[in-house]
Amino acid sequence: MTQQQWTEVDAYLEQALIGEDPALAAALATSAKAGLPEIAVSPTQGKLLHLLSLTAGARRILEIGSLGGYSAIWMARALPAGGRLISLELSPANAAVARANLHEAGLEKVAEVRTGRAADSLAELVDEGAEPFDLVFIDADKPSIPDYVEWSLKLTKPGSLIIVDNVVRNGKVADAESTDASVLGIRRMHEMVAADPRMTGTAVQTVGTKGYDGFTLIRVN
């Protein structure tokens, strides 16, 4: 199998199961025009987040890593009346793009983008006594992933889902001798999930337009 084949299959699946979506297409175009890296989830991955949010009955969603708001749009659309999504983004420039895209998608009243270090924003949510989140999507710097999962446990409840993206790293995650900070962060996160009775998790490898990667799915016990 080749990257070309993976991309062709993704194109077929997008056409067959998703179709054209002006708001999502505009979000990607706006992000590209602003110079954001093209690392947003793919359309099929975005719809997976949407379906997981619906299946979990998520009323409150936390996202760590907004980028241009593409994945936030997918998840915010799954919220019921009165639902809320909070997305955390380090870069003020990225956050501005995300807010604009959420506004254009008609979701500005249910989705909020907070700017600053994720660790600081997560601590603020804890200090605020934030109502537990039903679903957390972590798509941020990988060396800090263990810390983000630990904070997520403080902000969720039994039955909540935590989804961590980009955990396979083109297969590099299997290298026990790796000195790559991202790989080390992901491996430590997996060790935490396996050892901590507060969590049950698994990981799935994926291929597609984004190459060879995968995600970890964690249920809070």
Domains, the chain, with CATH or none: 3-220 (3.40.50.150)
Q: What's the pLDDT at 100?
A: 97
Q: What's the pLDDT at 1?
A: 82
What does the pLDDT look like over 38-51, one tens digit per residue? 999 999 999 999 99
Does the pLDDT at position 176 exceed 90?
Answer: yes
**3-state class (DSSP) for residue 85:** strand
* pLDDT (mean) for 163-169: 98
In the chain, which residue ranges form alpha helices assigned H by DSSP? 3-17, 22-33, 43-55, 70-76, 92-104, 118-127, 145-154, 181-195
Q: What's the pLDDT at 107?
A: 98
Q: What's the pLDDT at 152?
A: 98
Q: Which residues of 195-211 are buried (b: 16+ CB within 10 A; e: fewer)?
A: eeeebebebeebbbbbe
pTM of the predicted structure, to 2 decimals = 0.97
* pLDDT (mean) for 10-15: 96
What does the pLDDT look like over 121-147, one tens digit per residue? 999 999 999 999 999 999 999 999 999
Does the pLDDT at position 210 exceed 90?
Answer: yes
Mean pLDDT value across the chain: 97
Confidence of residue 191 (pLDDT cuts 50, 70, 90): very high
Q: Which amino acid is at 214?
A: G
What does the pLDDT look like over 84-122, one tens digit per residue? 999 999 999 999 999 999 999 999 999 999 999 999 999
